[in-house]
Structure formats: C-alpha cells, structure tokens
C-alpha cells in the first residue's frame, strides 16, 4: 500500500484582475491603456534545496520577453495579445492570466509579473510603450506579504499568488524599472494549490 499527498514544487501566479482607475481631475483623466503582453522576469532556471533556505535559486534567471535574448523562455509569457484597451475610473476588469515559476527566495532579483502595453494620454495620442513590473507576494499599500509568515517578494512552492492590479498612471520605460504605488497599486492574496491525496494498492 502506498499513500501520499501530492504537492507542487512550482509557484503559480495569477493575474486575477487588471483595471484602470485614473483620477478624474488628474493629468491622466482621459488616459487609455492597451496591454500587449504579460510575462514573468527573474525566474530561476533551477533551485538548490537545503535546510537553511529550501528555495535558493541559481544565479541564472529567465524572462518571458525579448526573443533575441538568451534568457528568453516562451512559456513565461503570453506572447502578443489581441488589442483590448482599458480606460476609465474604474474600468471593467481585463481578463485573467496564469503563469508558473520556480520558487525564488531572492528579494533583490525577485520574480515579477510585467504588464506591457501602450499608454495614451487621450484618444488623440499615438501612444507610448510602457511597462508595469509587479512584485509577487507583495501588497504595494504597506509592503506586506500576501501570506502571513512569509517574506515579502519571495515566492514559495505550492502557493497560488493572486494579483489584483489597478493602473493609475503612466508605466515605466523598461520592464526592470520600479514603479511606485501611485502609478499602480497591487493587492496580493494567496491560496495553496489543491492537495491531491492518492492511494495505490498492489496485490
């Protein structure tokens, strides 16, 4: 008889909601954002397991953008998305996307979800490419982790980090730039993957 609980050794990242909420009296009151691609960056290529830090990543990281880059991995991004603009204060939530990554205990090169797209100040603007890099397991309002007892910006195995992102301003020029909470607010919740109990009997 063999009975065991099955757990995932990877981390799930869910973009549960993406909306805009531009201030009606601000500089971006008529702004329009059109997502073009969503991808992960700083994804470890492998892990070193040890008692002190079970999710220590290797120094090699992958990302889901720039196909000409040696660190590019197609499975870490959506590829080019069909144009679907979002605007308003607040807007209607835009889609749901799911990604998988190796756990990462590095808070300097933390794994991030990047929302790329075109930002227009108004309907007459030709638009500018922008990026919204989102820390995972991190609530932008107070810097707290999504899961009590975990370290903010670290990602843990067998957890699904569900991110709610509200865009309030113009994004960054590069996917590795840091944006402040006035530009985009992030609320992260977490839930374990569903456990699967298995029993095998061999006669």
CB-CB neighbours of 95 under 10 Å: 14
Least confident of 5-9, 25-29, 66-70: 5-9
pLDDT at 50 exceeding the cut of 60: no
Write out pLDDT tens, residues 148-180: 899 999 998 889 999 999 999 999 999 989 888
Q: How far apart are CA 54 and CA 125, in angstroms?
A: 49
pLDDT at 196 exceeding the cut of 70: no
CB-CB neighbours of 176 under 10 Å: 14
pTM: 0.86
Region 82-91 average pLDDT:
87
Return the HEC string of the chain: CEEEEECCCCEEEEEEEEEECCCCCCCCCCCEEEEEEEEEECEECCEECCCCCCCEECCCEEECCCCCCCCECHHHECCCCCCCCEECCCCCCCCCEEEEECCECCCCCCCEEEEEEEEECCCCCCCEEEEEEEECCCECCCCECCCCCCCCCCECCCEEEEEEEEECCCCECCCCCCCCCCCEEEEEEEEECCCEEEEECCC
Q: Which two tokens stand for residue 37?
A: 């691609």
Quote the pLDDT of residue 92. 84
Angle at 82 between CA 76 and CA 87, to 5 degrees: 105
What burial class does residue 83 get, using C-beta atoms within 10 Å of its C-beta: 0-12 exposed, 13-18 middle, 19+ buried?
exposed
pLDDT at 199 exceeding the cut of 80: no
Region 143-148 average pLDDT:
90
Q: How far apart are CA 84 and CA 129, in angstroms?
A: 15
Quote the pLDDT of residue 2. 43
């Amino acid at each position: 008889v063999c009975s065991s609980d099955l757990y995932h050794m990877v981390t799930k990242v869910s973009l549960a909601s993406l909306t805009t909420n531009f201030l009606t009296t601000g500089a971006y009151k008529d702004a329009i954002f059109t997502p073009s691609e969503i991808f992960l960056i700083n994804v470890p290529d492998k892990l070193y397991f040890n008692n002190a830090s079970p999710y220590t990543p290797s120094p090699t990281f992958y990302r889901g953008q720039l196909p000409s880059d040696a660190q590019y991995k197609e499975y870490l991004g959506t590829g080019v998305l069909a144009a679907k603009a979002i605007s308003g204060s607040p807007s209607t939530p835009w889609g749901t996307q799911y990604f998988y990554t190796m756990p990462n205990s590095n808070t300097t090169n933390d794994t991030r979800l990047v929302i790329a797209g075109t930002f227009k100040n108004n309907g007459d603007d030709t638009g500018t490419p922008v990026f919204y890099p989102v820390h995972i397991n991190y609530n932008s309002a107070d810097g707290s982790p999504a899961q009590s007892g975990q370290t903010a910006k670290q990602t843990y195995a067998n957890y699904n980090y569900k991110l709610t992102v509200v865009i309030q301003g113009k994004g960054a020029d590069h996917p590795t730039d840091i944006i402040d909470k006035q530009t985009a607010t992030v609320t992260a919740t977490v839930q374990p993957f569903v456990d699967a109990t298995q029993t095998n009997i061999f006669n």
